[in-house]
A and B are shown apart, each in its own frame.
Chain A
Amino acid sequence: MWLHLHLAKESPVMPRKKYDAIVVGSGAAGGCAAKELTEGGLDVLVLEAGRDVDPAKDFNTHTWPYQHKYRGNFAPGVKERTQWNQIYADGFTSHLYLKDSEHPYSTPAGQPYIWVRSRIVGGKILHWGRNARRLSDYDFRAADRDGYGENWPIRYEDLAPYYDKLEEFVGVCGSRENLPQLPDGKYLAPMRLNCGEAILRQVAPTLGLGMTVIPKRAAMRPSSTHGLGQCHFCGTCEMGRGCDVNGFWNSVGDTLLAARQTGRLTLRPNSVAHQVLLEKGHGDRVRGVSFFDRRTRRYQEAESQVVVLGASALESTRILLNSVSRHWPDGMANSSGVLGRYLMDNIGGPSVEGFLPALMSREVVNEDGKAGGIDVVAYRNMTERHPKFIRSYVHEGATGAQLFPHYANRISGWGEGFKRRVKRNYTAWFSLNTRGEMLARRENFVEIDKARVDAWGIPVLKIHCQHSDNEREMAKDAAENLRALAVAAKAENIRVEDGLLTPGMIIHDMGTARMGNDPKKSVLNKWNQAHDIPNLFVVDGACFVTSGGYGPTLTIGTLATRASAYIVEEMKRGNL
């Protein structure tokens, strides 16, 4: 039952038993793995580094800014002292993110990487953007198309049934569009478009760039599915606060809950994974995971037949890099030397904002309650090749009245005229941003910073990540096209941003333990299984070969589901 979704009993004493599988992480990846493994009959221990979550208390839904002492901001100075890299945390959500003061990492001078993290049951999927686009063979076979980098070891058809399965369970709303670069899925009815979105949908195709506007494909449940929590259109999830009724895919109210209902899940929060442990005398077989109790800092070990890492791309890789031994002096399962390499985020930054004259001074209606706007589907490098960059990008848009008029400081002047202009534009506002592919490059990598440890004494990562000319050219192109779209929509007071955001800021950390068919060029095989260690799996964003699709979460959950189904089958056959 719901029972506050306190999924875990308070700090269970670890029984001296051997689990079938240990899953590290309880977010998108860990939740899907736990569901599939337990439903397949396995006894599963999920280790989560953070505390348990209580949706009734933790999400601050239906709370107005004026009910908060600092109107939803941090108290002055607090963020700078404790959570300086958790850029999306605010006064309503700070407890959903970790404290940088306890979880440091390093970057080379002048090469910042913003690493946004949540250590709590559910992880980042508690407050994600809910964009649920499928990847296609434009992504899986990208190297075939333009000669750059590697293909994935799987094709769309390998993943399609698992996309179906996950979407059908967690609920994804969207329209069927029949576009080759964005395969349709098993959808609940899409959210209706707002006025501004409908206008942009009419205007975009007139630019001749191949732009198609569709309603956001969102992992939200506007109608009931599997008896799971249902959206009531309050819009708070778009503010990153979570959902007190679990109306969207958030792991705790769906996949983890399903795992718990099998009776075969043990969830242990406050368990900070340290290393994957090798079977004595064997370099090619693991026996479990060591961890520290977050509160007591006591060292513990748990044992299992299979270890499944789903701790987020960079945390899973950190665990492997920290799992050094006589057999694996440079990190576990790293015979290729590729572990830690090919780090990616999606690019962001290029954006446009303005006001649609047709919508000025209209009656205010509820426009942000659906918490989902529009997508401009990928349109570059589809049929024609762009001369300056390879790969593609999408735009995500929102229009109409939002809780806070962020544009108000851009309206000049003061007094009655100023107040009226803010109000006149309130219903006319629109904004579109960009999410694009960052190339997988060997020189973007993570390593262990041997000079630094976190609050539990575990060595931290040093992250090396920079954009290349391909990302810069892509950003320029995206900004130009967004301006053209705003002009075609006859928008007023257009503001275009054309710079790239610091890597990491889109929170789509991917790569560093990529999949591949060649063990010399990849860490994992096509089943997310370590080439070097058959009973070790990595099922989160670490396995990504490219950063296409512009939103990895749905594919992470799908790959975790597929890998877990494989584990169940292989265990039945006695192969693990």
Chain B
Amino acid sequence: MRGRKGITRREATKILASAAGAPLLPQLPSSGARPHHLPVSPSRKTGPWVPKFFNAHQNETVTALAELIIPQTETPGAKAAKVNEFIDLVLGEENPKVQQEFLRGLDWIDLKSKRLFSLRFAELKPEQQKTLLDGIADDANTEAEDQVGVSFFKNVKARTVFAFYTSEIGIHQELQYKGLDYLTEFPGCSHPEHSDWDPKT
């Protein structure tokens, strides 16, 4: 594995091994090695992914909601990051109360959508979806009939945020996170306007 803006694992091993502590240093695990405690990601070797918890329509609705919350811009969005797949995985193992609450929210979204536009949410035009989401994304919305929706929006947003920003796309393409690397020294801030400090050692 090559660090994003750093050195390779092999180089790191070499540098570390050349330090005075060589005899005490372990081999860094090879890039293919998997620590034995780590549950591995589900294998994708057999056929296209199918939801385990959602039905096809629910999956379509969740996919649409997630992409609306974190859309494709100059970087890919929630759909490309397969946020729906992770939500399906976790909800499928959750307790019935958590599952029912989520499904109730999905039902509510379709009911509201039909009432406003006579179509289910996933079938709406983008402007119509926006109108509906703006209503429930608004904390100031205290309409009694919208409370299931308001709470569902928070629920689906939290799940989308977690799944997206822990995905490969979220971490590397969107956030462009630079940590979890191998460095020989830590760079710190190099802006002259911040560097009034000279460490006294």
Contacts and interface: CB of A to CB of B under 8 A. Distances in A.
A540 interface: no
Contacts of B89: 69-70
B68 A366 contact: no
Contacts of B195: 198
Contacts of B12: 232
Interface string B5-44: 1000100100010011111111111000001111111100
Contacts of A369: 178-181, 183, 186
Interface string B134-162: 00010100000000000001000110011
A416 B40 CA distance: 32
A175 B199 contact: yes
A262 to B, nearest CB: 15
Contacts of A92: 38
A76 interface: yes
Interface string A63-77: 111111111110111
Given A367-B179, A419-B73, A414 B133 contact: yes
Nearest to B198: A175
Nearest to A414: B69
Contacts of A193: 188-189, 194, 197
Contacts of A66: 41, 166-168, 171
Interface in A352-369: 364-369
B189 A192 contact: yes
A227 B24 CA distance: 7
A195 B191 CA distance: 7
B186 A62 contact: no
A401 interface: yes
B124 to A, nearest CB: 15
B75 to A, nearest CB: 8
A459 B181 CA distance: 46
B200 interface: yes
A234 to B, nearest CB: 6
Contact of B93 (A76, A229, A416): A76
B171 A64 contact: yes
Interface string B39-63: 1111000000000000000000000
Contacts of B103: none
Contacts of B19: 224, 227, 230
Given A175-B200, A198-B194, A199-B194, A418 B70 contact: yes
A60 B38 contact: yes
A370 interface: yes
B121 to A, nearest CB: 14
Interface of B: 1, 5, 9, 12, 16, 19-29, 35-42, 68-71, 73, 77, 86, 89-90, 93-95, 98, 130, 133, 137, 139, 153, 157-158, 161-163, 165-168, 171, 174-189, 191, 194-197, 199-201
29 contacts: A1-B23, A63-B38, A64-B171, A71-B86, A73-B90, A76-B93, A76-B94, A176-B200, A188-B201, A193-B197, A195-B191, A198-B197, A227-B22, A232-B12, A233-B185, A234-B181, A234-B182, A257-B24, A364-B176, A366-B183, A369-B179, A369-B181, A402-B179, A403-B171, A403-B180, A404-B166, A414-B70, A415-B68, A415-B71
